[in-house]
Amino acid sequence: MSTRVIEIHEAVQGQNDQLAARNRALFEDAGVYVINVMSAPGSGKTEFLARTLADMAVHPSQEPMDRRNRLRIAVVVGDIATDNDAKRLGVTGVDVVQITTGGYCHLDADMVAKAIAKLDLRNLDVLIIENVGNMVCPATFDLGEHARIALISVTEGEDKPLKYPTLFQRADLVVINKIDLAEAVDYKGYVVIDNISRISPEAYILEASAKTGEGMADWYLYLQTMHEQHRKLPCYV
Ligand code: MG
Ligand code: ZN
């Protein structure tokens, strides 16, 4: 890279970081816990989120006594061209805001700022941001989130974490999806988990299938716990 290219890159990142900090302050102020979900196209991100919403989400308009153990969740979905994923998630009855990036292969903090302006953040427990399917640049753009989830599937090969280290280094949670296909694709869980742990020793790792529901309870417990902890933490923003 030339010096000029590096300078432009740093300016873009600097501006994004400022906007991300502004988003984060808004999230803190509203008391909403925000997660940024990243994966390659085809890992089952939308299916994973659709099941999560069906099992865990309640619309904010629901009376508190009818919420049981559910969370008030809304979703921001990023896609390059279509709104198919937003439509799939929208049938669950939660609020979904679509960002169509018009060719950009990642979400940035400015796009998220415009999307969240359409939501009443104060009436939410959790906001899920489904990033554009891409394992490279989404990892370098802070959106103001509290936690990052990297999602891969058992069909993707054991060395994925080694090929895309930035995404995994910065992930708080790694979900290995489509565990129902493990036998068919001769999935070697110990190799994948070892590779993730080498790149990201702190990351929490879980195996799940959004299709059969296997392992999803672990993810729901994680989400509940993180949301509870966040609500109790004193805020210094
Ligand atoms: Mg999707
Ligand atoms: Zn990109």
- Taking ligand 2, which is a single-atom ion, which protein residues have CB atoms under 5 Å away? 105-106, 137
The alpha carbon of 133 and the centre of ligand 2 are apart by a number of angstroms equal to 10
At residue 53, what is the residue type?
L
Where does residue 114 rank: exposed (0-12), middle (13-18), buried (19+ CB within 10 A)?
exposed
The alpha carbon of 86 and the centre of ligand 2 are apart by a number of angstroms equal to 20
The alpha carbon of 42 and the centre of ligand 1 are apart by a number of angstroms equal to 7
Would you put residue 160 in left (φ > 0), alpha (ψ -120 to 50) or beta? alpha
pLDDT in tens, 83-142: 888 888 988 889 999 999 988 999 999 999 999 999 999 999 999 999 999 999 999 999
Of the listed ligands, the closest to the CA of 78 is: 1
The alpha carbon of 14 and the centre of ligand 2 are apart by a number of angstroms equal to 16
- Mean pLDDT of the region 204-225: 96
What's the pLDDT score for residue 33? Answer: 96
pTM: predicted TM-score of the whole model, two decimal places: 0.93
The alpha carbon of 120 and the centre of ligand 2 are apart by a number of angstroms equal to 28
The H or E element that residue 127 is part of is strand 126-130
What's the pLDDT score for residue 24? Answer: 97
Residue 57 pLDDT > 80: yes
Residue 233 — pLDDT band, cuts 50, 70, 90? low
* Greatest CA separation for the chain: 60
What's the pLDDT score for residue 235? Answer: 53
Residue 234 — pLDDT band, cuts 50, 70, 90? low
The alpha carbon of 186 and the centre of ligand 1 are apart by a number of angstroms equal to 25
Residue 237 pLDDT > 50: no
The alpha carbon of 37 and the centre of ligand 1 are apart by a number of angstroms equal to 10
pLDDT in tens, 58-76: 998 888 777 778 999 999 9
Instruction: Please report, for residues 101, 122, 195, 207, the alpha-carbon distance to residue 81 in angstroms, rounded to integers and kept in the order given.
Output: 7, 30, 33, 30
What's the pLDDT score for residue 8? Answer: 81
More confident residue, 234 or 56: 56
The alpha carbon of 224 and the centre of ligand 1 are apart by a number of angstroms equal to 23
The alpha carbon of 117 and the centre of ligand 1 are apart by a number of angstroms equal to 22
Q: Is 176 helix (H, G, I), strand (E, B) or coil?
A: strand
The alpha carbon of 136 and the centre of ligand 2 are apart by a number of angstroms equal to 7
pLDDT in tens, 6-17: 888 888 889 999
The alpha carbon of 41 and the centre of ligand 1 are apart by a number of angstroms equal to 7
pLDDT in tens, 155-194: 998 999 999 999 999 999 999 999 999 999 999 999 999 9
The alpha carbon of 182 and the centre of ligand 2 are apart by a number of angstroms equal to 30
